[in-house]
Amino acid sequence: MSEYRGCQLPEDLYYDLDYVWLRPGNDGLFTIGVTDPAQTMGGRILSVHIKKTGKTLLAGRHVATLESGKWVGGIPVPFAATIVERNEALLADPHLINVDPYGAGWIARLRPEDPEKALTGLSTGGPATTALKQWIDRYDVECMRCSD
Amino acid sequence: MQDIGEAFAHDHRRLEQALAASGSHVQAGHWEAAAAAFAGFRDGIERHMAVEEQVLFPAVEKGAETPLTAILRKGHRDLRVFFDEIDDALSARDAEEYGRIAASMRALLERHDEKEESELYPAAQTQLGADAAAVAARLAD
């Protein structure tokens, strides 16, 4: 796990190098969430809307919308996919994104339309860490992790 | 002669009214009128964002992107996805989906516009100086 300006950057995840991380599973599904620097920039998340399971999304469309007191943003899917599962616990407690963005704060599980090409355009490992550090500098983010 | 802040803030209010008109037509079940009103809103806000991206952002950046312009560019990207999703909801005549997306979009616009009016426009006015009036006039082109 890399860390930069207080932001945790797991090296085993895949990133769109903006807000989103993805974790491929052994079942062919991808879990999607937002990065530690992105949750910091958003502030304390007060509400989350996640689209319904079974919904098919084009690449770039929002799987979820997050809202804090100072920010509203959509969470785009990097590839065309169907929503298989939503994190119901997150809908009940949106603050989970701030507390545990890579764990309990996951947003949804996706089935990619074309599994062979799902990771195309995403970054991981050292190159992703380098690019995410540049993202953190670009937005001038100092990460803070909420404890509750 | 209008300054940047006055002209762009006035355009924000005009665009809010155009978006509200689309929502009123959806509530009334007048889908063709809603689509026409939203198309007018989208044309207007695309022109507004284009002037910001092509003139105002570069004016305050002076060659290097700032955290402010990075956040505002991100807001424009998010808004364009919401525009596509609104078009989808209008095509599907799905009032519930339209309402949900429009609510998120209005919340984003409210915070985005506030940031532009309090931070971007004063900085751009300073940098553009005597050229500011001509830039403001581009909103009406």
What are the Cα distances from residue A91, in Å, to A104, A106, A111, A147, B94? Answer: 11, 11, 20, 19, 23
Give the three-class secondary structure for A44: coil
Closest residue of chain A to B75, computed from CA coordinates: A73
| All structural domains of chain A | 2-114 (2.40.50.100)
Angle between helices B31-51 and B4-28 in degrees, nearest 10: 160
Q: Which one of B57, B72, B85 makes the best mutation probe of the A interface by having the most chain A beta carbons within 10 Å?
A: B85
Task: Check residue A139 and give its pLDDT.
Answer: 86
8 A C-beta contact, residue A75 and residue A107: yes
Nearest-CA neighbor of A38 among A9, A1, A2? A9
Enclosing domain of residue B44? 4-140
Task: Check residue A124 and give its pLDDT.
Answer: 96
Tell me: the pLDDT tens digits for B79-117? 999 999 999 999 999 999 999 999 999 999 999 999 999
8 A C-beta contact, residue A77 and residue A57: yes
In this structure, the number of other CB atoms found within 10 A of the CB of residue A127 comes to 11
The identity of residue A22, as a single letter, is L
ipTM value, please give it. Answer: 0.84
C-alpha radius of gyration, chain A, whole number: 14
Q: What is the mean pLDDT of residues B52-77?
A: 92
User: Rounded to an integer, what distance in angstroms lies between the CA atom of residue B4 and that of residue B122?
Assistant: 8
CB within 8 Å: B71 and A139: yes
In this structure, the number of other CB atoms found within 10 A of the CB of residue B16 comes to 15
CB within 8 Å: A62 and B107: no
CB within 8 Å: A72 and B111: yes
| Tally of domains in chain B | 1
Show residues of chain A in contact with B98, CB under 8 Å. Answer: none
In a structure prediction context, what are the per-residue pLDDT tens digits for chain A, which is 148 residues long? 899 999 999 999 999 999 999 999 999 999 999 999 999 988 999 999 999 999 999 999 999 999 998 888 899 999 999 999 999 999 999 999 999 999 999 999 999 999 999 999 999 999 999 999 999 998 889 997 666 5
Tell me: the pLDDT tens digits for B37-61? 999 999 999 999 999 999 999 999 9
Q: Tell me the two tokens of residue B67.
A: 């955290």
The verdict on B100 touching A (C-beta cutoff 8 Å) is yes
